[in-house]
Structure 1
Amino acid sequence: MEQEKLDIIYKDQHIIAINKPSGLLVHKSPIDKHETRYAMKILRNQIGQWVYPVHRLDKPTSGLLLFALSPEIAKNLGEQFTNNSVRKMYIAVVRGHTPLGGIIRHPIKETAMFKHQKKLVEQRAPQDALTLFRQLATTERPYSIDRYPSTRYSLIAAYPKTGRTHQIRKHLKHISHPIIGDAKHGKGNLNRAFSEHHDSHRLLLASVALTFLHPVTNKCIHLKAPLQDDFKKTLNSLGWDEHYIPNWVPNITPNLK
């Protein structure tokens, strides 16, 4: 049986970045304890070396995923993510026509992974969370959902300035523009209709760019990852293509105080 391989975007002797496909866990998770495929294991077998995750992407989210190749490098990169000094850009397809751009500042409450943690997590205050977004394109499709005679969608770039769990998904739901294909934070009837009309069966959220300081050289590393074929196919069905996607990440670091 041929060994599964992941698309490597960048590698040196200290770090490695992959383009994670939608539907793949980053590592073992108690939330999905029966799943045996996860990126950390596949990549370790692929390169014959232990890898250390320094951040995570939700299972249904695709795109750039960064690993360290030693504990020391993992500590440095992990601190960069914790300090919100890593610049990140995501692409998403959402319900409705969004504003041309905006800032979503809405606290996010932690999620308990185990039943015994539930009471403790519920007692904790929500944490500050900040996401910037920019509208890239809009469309209106001639089919009805709910009381509307047609259905509108937007393609956006999202720039999370903090790293809370499901932050982009929760923030876009908060402003009534949920991500298409989001089974947890979206609208079921909208997701079903979109799947039927556009043959899309995934969360339409992808991490497409990361900018950070290399832990050893201290040089600025800017990584970009292409969208998966299924994501590109869906964009084409909406009349869009990758030319709508910016190839830069703005250097915006708002004051969170």
Structure 2
Amino acid sequence: MRPDMDLLPILLHDEHLVAVDKPPGMLVHRTPLAGRDERFVLQTLRDQLGRHVYPVHRLDRGTSGVLLFALDADTAHRLTGRFAARETHKRYLALVRGWTDAAGRIDHPLSRLDEEPPPQTDRGVVTTPQPALTRYERLATLEVENGLGPHPTSRYALLSLVPETGRQHQLRRHLKHASHPIIGDATYGKGDHNRWWARQLGIARLWLHAQRLELPHPWSGQPLRIEAPPDAHWRRLCALPGWRWDRAEPGLTP
């Protein structure tokens, strides 16, 4: 591990697994999309611990928060089975455009390939949209004068998101489908709103944070609850004047 390399925050570490708080903008591992990226969670954590680690689920490059790794192949097999069997419970925090209902669900099938009508071909295999369900709860609302639309003000909301399924880019695609795109999303969001928020806060990022992961321990079966508290980015966001809170949120509510 280079002495000038930032350490990844460790949220949980035992003989079988390790969970880290992934920074926004960092890829989990090297891919053709990496471009000039030099830091990756997998390689950084391996060097930090001095041992091999096994990824068992994914977070998009822009998403921050809880990311779990196994420390051996047998544990990796057990953990991937937990995720495949939907024995995990995830909770995310998101800043979105517009005001949602106080709570609700987005039940909208998603295909394997983004933005294409069914049926689709994925490497020669015809695929169809798969069931996808996201539940949400509104935490707070904000209305600001930024002149980005036909009205003098724009509305935004802070949401708690629970994906009941695990489709590719599910939360980002579902919020776009609901006309409440996540701020900072260059693929599914709105550029003018993304740029306004980046200027306002001095932070250019996807405003999506994996706040909590719950699952049975792969060996003991005991319940695990791993949390990544909102960082300084989120605290700066929530310190802006004008937020109206539907309910108190630890670490965020002034």
TM-score (norm 2): 0.89
Q: CA deviation at 1:159?
A: 0.1
Shift of the 49–119 alpha-carbon distance from structure 1 to 2, 3 Å rule, reads closer
Which amino acid letter does the alignment assign opposite residue 219 of structure 1? Answer: Q
Structure-2 residue corresponding to 1:149: 152
Which SS does the other structure have where 2:28 is aligned? coil
Q: For residues 202-236 of structure 1, give each alpha carbon's deviation from its aligned partner in whole angstroms, at most 9, with x where no partner exists.
A: 11100000100001111000111112212321222
Where does structure 2 lack aligned partners over 5 or more consecutive residues? 115-119
Where does structure 1 lack aligned partners over 5 or more consecutive residues? 248-257
Structure-2 residue corresponding to 1:173: 176
Whole-angstrom CA distance in 1 between matches of 2:58 and 2:153: 36
- Give the one of 36, 39, 42 matched to 1:40: 42
Structure-1 residue corresponding to 2:117: none
Which amino acid letter does the alignment assign opposite residue 26 of structure 2? Answer: L
Structure-1 residue corresponding to 2:65: 63
Structure-1 residue corresponding to 2:79: 77
Structure-2 residue corresponding to 1:7: 9
Which SS does the other structure have where 2:181 is aligned? coil
Once the two structures are superposed, the pairs formed by residues 198-217 of structure 1 within 5 Å of their partners are 198-217=201-220
Structure-2 residue corresponding to 1:228: 231
Once the two structures are superposed, the pairs formed by residues 64-213 of structure 1 within 5 Å of their partners are 64-111=66-113, 120=123, 123-213=126-216
Q: Does the aligned pair in 2 maintain the 1:138–1:152 contact within 8 Å?
A: yes
Q: CA deviation at 1:172?
A: 0.4
Q: Does the aligned pair in 2 maintain the 1:111–1:121 contact within 8 Å?
A: no
Percent identity, please.
40
Whole-angstrom CA distance in 1 between matches of 2:138 and 2:58: 25
Q: For residues 37-84 of structure 1, give each alpha carbon's deviation from its aligned partner in whole angstroms, at most 9, with x where no partner exists.
A: 110100010011110000010000000000000111111111111122
Q: CA deviation at 1:151?
A: 0.8
Whole-angstrom CA distance in 2 between matches of 1:153 and 1:225: 23
Shift of the 238–180 alpha-carbon distance from structure 1 to 2, 3 Å rule, reads farther
Which protein has the bigger helix share?
1
Q: Does the aligned pair in 2 maintain the 1:180–1:204 contact within 8 Å?
A: yes
Q: CA deviation at 1:4?
A: 2.8
Q: Does the aligned pair in 1 maintain the 2:141–2:244 contact within 8 Å?
A: no
Aligned pairs, number? 243
Q: CA deviation at 1:119?
A: 5.2
Q: CA deviation at 1:36?
A: 2.7
Whole-angstrom CA distance in 1 between matches of 2:243 and 2:67: 25
Instruction: Indicate the larger mover: 75-84 or 24-33.
Output: 24-33
Q: Does the aligned pair in 2 maintain the 1:98–1:177 contact within 8 Å?
A: yes
Q: CA deviation at 1:33?
A: 4.9
Pairwise CA RMSD of aligned residues?
2.2
